[in-house]
Amino acid sequence: MHDDMTPAARGAPHARLLLDHAASGQRQWIKRNASLYRSGDPVADYVFFIHAGSFKHYRTDETGARKITAFPACGDFLALDSIGLVRHTCTAVALEDSEVDAISYAILRQHLTILHRLLAQSIRKMRASTAQLHHTTAEQRLAAFLLDLAKRHGRLEGTPPRYRLPMSRCDIGNYLHLSPESVSRVMHQFKQASLILLENRDITLRDASAMEAIATVAPPASPHADQHPLATSHMSKS
């Protein structure tokens, strides 16, 4: 039998079990820049598993400003945060042509243990992301972000890892709490240090180990330090 599951779904037993029990005909195709749901829309009795593609997930504050909370991609779930609500509080927009599988609440109620694990995992990711954004430098944030995208695309096994950035630098900056100029500056530093290769939106991690070191090393002692010391040491080689 043909298996059209993505590598992420095949490697995620929770997703595989839910999809095996989901009703047929629940796949949805979302065009680039189209929304799967928007803030204020009524919540349907579904969560969504991303079969292919990626999304921008954001909320809008009282001033109308958008804050990107995540870039869910293949293997992730959407609308878990809307369970129990009447209307969505966030918007999910496709960054590229994407496919999602709708999983009904009825299916989730049959697998409460899996649902609880998915919700707990979502909370852990949110807390980890919040901690990182408040206690790291621009270099650390961007290095961790690029590494995470490579891992999510299953690209760290490649030599060297290569993938496409579906989001803009403005969106990256919004998510990482950095200005677009800071994103461009650090990208340029990484490129000058031969850590990455950029070709339009295609990125190659030329030294994933060095990027990992930048992402995980302790932040500088001085609160006024503008650049990560490990990043500086790599930049000086260029």
pLDDT per residue as tens digits for the range 98-133: 999 999 898 888 888 888 888 888 778 777 776 666
Banded model confidence at residue 225, pLDDT cuts 50, 70, 90: very low
DSSP single-letter state for residue 54: B
Q: Which residues contact 147 (CB under 8 A, 6 or more apart)?
A: 156, 205, 208, 211, 212, 215
Mean pLDDT value across residues 80-108: 94
CB 194 within 8 A of CB 206: yes
**Which residue in 133, 132, 136 sits closest to 218, CA to CA?**
136
Average pLDDT, the chain: 82
Whether the pLDDT of residue 223 is over 50: the answer is: no
Residue 191: which region, alpha, beta or left (left: phi > 0; alpha: psi -120 to 50)? alpha
Whether the pLDDT of residue 84 is over 50: the answer is: yes
Which domains, from first to last, does the chain contain? Answer: 7-129 (2.60.120.10), 135-235 (1.10.10.10)
Whether the pLDDT of residue 3 is over 50: the answer is: no
Banded model confidence at residue 163, pLDDT cuts 50, 70, 90: confident
Whether the pLDDT of residue 27 is over 50: the answer is: yes
Looking at residue 126, its pLDDT comes to 74
Mean pLDDT value across residues 175-183: 95
Looking at residue 201, its pLDDT comes to 86
Rounded distance, CA 136 to CA 130, Å?
A: 10
Looking at residue 222, its pLDDT comes to 44
Per residue in 30-70, pLDDT (tens digit) is: 999 999 999 999 999 999 999 899 999 999 988 889 999 99
Looking at residue 155, its pLDDT comes to 55
Whether the pLDDT of residue 141 is over 80: the answer is: yes
Whether the pLDDT of residue 172 is over 90: the answer is: yes
Banded model confidence at residue 17, pLDDT cuts 50, 70, 90: low
* Relative orientation angle of helices 180-192 and 138-152, to the nearest 10 degrees: 80
Looking at residue 158, its pLDDT comes to 56
Rounded distance, CA 104 to CA 21, Å?
A: 10
DSSP single-letter state for residue 23: P
DSSP single-letter state for residue 220: P
Higher pLDDT, 89 or 235: 89
Name which of 26-30, 64-68, 137-141, 218-222 the model is least confident about. 218-222
Pairing of strands 46-52, 77-78: antiparallel
Task: Name the token pair of 38.
Answer: 């928007």
**Which residue in 34, 152, 146 sits closest to 96, CA to CA?**
34
Whether the pLDDT of residue 28 is over 50: the answer is: yes
